[in-house]
Amino acid sequence: MIEISELVKTYPGPAEDISVLDGLDLSVGKAESIAIVGPSGCGKTTLLNILGTLDVPTSGSVSIAGKELSQLDAEERSKFRNRSLGFVFQQHFLLPQCTVEENVIMPRLAGGWEESESDTRERAISLLRDLGLEERVAHRPYQLSGGERLRVAVARALINQPALVLADEPTGSLDPSMGEQVADLFAQLNDQHGVTLVTVTHNAALAERMGVVYALEKGKLQRR
Ligand SMILES: Nc1ncnc2c1ncn2[C@@H]1O[C@H](COP(=O)(O)OP(=O)(O)OP(=O)(O)O)[C@@H](O)[C@H]1O
Ligand SMILES: [Mg+2]
């Protein structure tokens, strides 16, 4: 599903360039799940952003489902993001003027959906129920706690039934029991629906439930 080789990412710095990813290799099969751990600033979000086509590598190759990302044109990239990818961002980026339910079905706005809007709404409610938010569907983000906003972001990432889920600290602001509920949902997606999962996390309990755990160190991944 994911093949990365010799991935390099540097950012321009005030004096010299900052090297974040430095010849990173990774291979993740379909329906596999991995966790990526590492200290703040080591490049975890940078790696997810590149996998999600939100950022581009300085050099190296990244392919997903057999397609080299650098070869995709803008339209193919946005199609990939809208139809095959679920992204749970570290900053959740919920739309403040929209309700919880509207935020979850927001990916529909990008178009290309075969399913009727009422079926999508039904699935949104069911996802929100799984995440303990059935009483919050008509709330707006400012009326939610941090953990509730995070769970809305998880539901939004799953609404398009993606083949690949990239999650950046998906249990960051959750208490242990809610964290476990998110971990259960991910495990279920992975086991029953063959979804490939790449999760960045500081949560040892969540990391343990992924098939393989990698540490991001000095710009490369080391298998734990
Ligand atoms: N757009 C940018 N321009 C310059 N430097 C950047 C940019 N984005 C990230 N960096 C730098 O790259 C490094 C890696 O950042 P990244 O966000 O990937 O870290 P992270 O591992 O996700 O950290 P955290 O656990 O705190 O979220 C940091 O040192 C950061 O300062
Ligand atoms: Mg980060």
Q: What is the pLDDT of residues 124-141, one digit of tens each?
A: 999 999 999 999 999 999
Question: Cα–Cα distances in Å, from 117 out to 127, 128, 133, 139?
Answer: 15, 16, 20, 20
CA distances from 168 to 6, 43, 102, 114, 153 (A): 22, 12, 22, 29, 11
Distance CA 82, CA 157 (A): 10
* Ligand closest to CA 219: 1
Compute mean pLDDT per 10 residues along the chain, 224 residues long, and list them: 97 92 97 95 96 95 94 91 89 92 90 88 95 95 91 92 93 85 87 93 91 96 95
Estimate to the nearest angstrom the gap between the alpha carbon of 32 and the chain centroid.
14
Q: How far apart are CA 186 and CA 33, in angstroms?
A: 9
Record the tokens describing residue 49, joined without a space: 């952003």
SS3 of 212, please? strand
The vertex-195 CA angle with 193 and 197, nearest 5°, equals: 145
Instruction: State the CB neighbour count (10 A cutoff) for residue 21.
Output: 25
Report residues whose beta carbon is within 6 angstroms of any ligand 1 atom. Answer: 11, 18, 20, 38, 40-46, 90
Q: 135 by DSSP, 3-state: which? A: helix
Q: Which helix (H) or strand (E) holds 147?
A: helix 146-158
Between the CA of 40 and the centroid of ligand 1 the distance, in Å, is: 8
pLDDT computed for residue 92 by the predictor: 81
pLDDT of res. 147: 85
Cα separation, 214 vs 224, in Å, equals 5
212 contact partners, CB below 8 Å, separation of at least 6: 32, 33, 34, 35, 223, 224
- Expressed in angstroms and rounded, the spacing between residue 139 Cα and the centre of ligand 1 is 32
Residues with CB under 5 A from ligand 2 (ion): 45, 90
Residues ≥6 apart with Cβ < 8 Å to 220: 21, 22, 23, 24, 25
pLDDT at site 71: 95
Q: 19, 24, 46: which to mutate for ligand 1, most atoms within 8 A of CB?
A: 46
Contact (Cβ atoms closer than 8 angstroms) between residue 93 and residue 168: no
Ligand 2 centroid–CA 26 distance in Å is: 18
Domains of the chain listed by start with CATH number: 2-223 (3.40.50.300)
- Please report the pLDDT score of residue 97 as a whole number: 96
CA distances to 123, 124, 181 from 118, in Å: 9, 10, 26
